[in-house]
């Protein structure tokens, strides 16, 4: 991925030095990291909820937990941190693409902040451990990312590569687009009036749409010569690695479709590919496709 020539975003908020560390951890207990991500993902699959719901995050409707006092945040310093530089480059490119799309459709793109944190973070959706993985909080319109997730993605889930990482960021930005366009609020309202199985099915459609929107950004990047040979395969491998069926089978040897919250590996790859091939947001209506 030729990301080094991309414009850097000014919306990366580096809070890593201000995040709880050492023995503090989540909620004052033991630190959750490394294998903690897999544990939360497995727990979410067993109980039929999304990882963010495990920590009261889905839809920004969870219980807010008071976090320990943190030191003021600061901007990431790309010159001193290649990982932060990469995130800033990818975020900047998503800003360019979505700003153009919103303007072409008579709107204005409100650029989100992307918060880099270590171990735990305070958001408008609650106080979350890094174990939930990257997440988007509708309440403050910010993406939260602990960079250790990329190591997990590569080593534990077998999906290495810079475009695999970019896909993760673009997926969370897809949730931001859903929030700005009112889709997230409508789905959350429907989920609250649905059975557990129906609510999970709606969550799957929302996640698959975010995958497709990530693919639309990938199309934009590809048209501008950002992608290199093998990049698409990296993203598809990442999408497949975090499919509900694959994670459930790894965790307990069998799958329970009614408990899926993000979609199967095949579905995630198909919807990302649809966005990538067409570059058309109108092709990402997962809700209509279900009918």
Ramachandran sector of residue 59 (left: φ over 0; alpha: ψ -120 to 50; beta: rest):
left
Residue 291 pLDDT: 55
SS3 assignment, position 116: strand
Residue 69 pLDDT: 39
| DSSP for 175-186, written as a single string | HHHHHHTTHHHH
The list of the chain residues with pLDDT below 70 reads 19-79, 290-291
Residue 142 pLDDT: 97
Cα distance between residue 287 and residue 202, in whole Å: 8
Residue 131 pLDDT: 85
The contacts of residue 249 (CB under 8 Å, 6+ apart) are 255
In tens, the pLDDT along 126-141 reads 988 888 889 999 999 9
Question: CA angle at residue 148 from 68 to 139, to 5 degrees?
Answer: 50
Other CB atoms within a 10 A radius of the CB of residue 136 amount to 28
Residue 100 pLDDT: 98
Residue 290 pLDDT: 65
Cα distance between residue 80 and residue 262, in whole Å: 35
Q: How many residues would you count in the chain?
A: 291
* Segments making up each domain of the chain, as ranges: 12-290
- The alpha helices in the chain, defined as continuous H runs, are 36-47, 51-54, 82-104, 148-155, 162-180, 183-192, 196-223, 231-241, 244-252, 265-278, 286-290
Q: For residue 83, what are its two tokens?
A: 């990982």
Ramachandran sector of residue 10 (left: φ over 0; alpha: ψ -120 to 50; beta: rest):
alpha
Q: For residue 118, what are its two tokens?
A: 């270590």
Instruction: Please give the distance of CA 234 from its chain centroid, rounded to a whole number.
Output: 16
Residue 200 pLDDT: 95
């Amino acid at each position: 991925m030729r990301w080094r020539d991309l414009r850097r975003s000014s919306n990366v908020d580096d809070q890593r030095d201000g995040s709880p560390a050492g023995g503090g951890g989540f909620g004052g207990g033991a630190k959750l990291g490394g294998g903690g991500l897999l544990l939360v993902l497995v727990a979410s699959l067993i109980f039929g909820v999304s990882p963010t719901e495990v920590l009261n995050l889905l839809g920004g409707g969870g219980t807010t937990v008071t976090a320990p006092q943190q030191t003021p945040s600061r901007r990431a310093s790309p010159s001193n941190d290649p990982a932060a530089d990469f995130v800033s480059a990818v975020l900047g490119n998503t800003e360019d693409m979505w700003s153009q799309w919103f303007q072409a459709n008579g709107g204005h793109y409100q650029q989100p902040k992307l918060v880099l944190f270590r171990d735990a973070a305070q958001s408008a959706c609650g106080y979350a451990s890094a174990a939930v993985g990257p997440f988007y909080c509708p309440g403050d319109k910010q993406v939260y990312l602990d960079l250790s997730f990329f190591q997990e993605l590569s080593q534990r889930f077998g999906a290495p590569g810079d475009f695999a990482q970019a896909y993760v960021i673009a997926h969370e930005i897809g949730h931001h687009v859903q929030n700005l366009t009112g889709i997230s609020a409508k789905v959350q309202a429907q989920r609250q009036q649905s059975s557990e199985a129906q609510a999970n099915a709606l969550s799957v459609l929302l996640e698959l749409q975010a995958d497709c929107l990530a693919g639309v950004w990938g199309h934009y990047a590809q048209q501008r010569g950002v992608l290199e040979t093998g990049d698409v395969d990296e993203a598809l491998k990442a999408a497949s690695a975090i499919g509900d069926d694959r994670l459930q089978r790894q965790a307990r040897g069998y799958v329970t479709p009614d408990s899926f919250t993000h979609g199967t590996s095949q579905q995630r790859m198909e919807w990302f590919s649809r966005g990538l091939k067409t570059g058309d947001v109108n092709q990402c209506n997962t809700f209509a496709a279900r009918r």
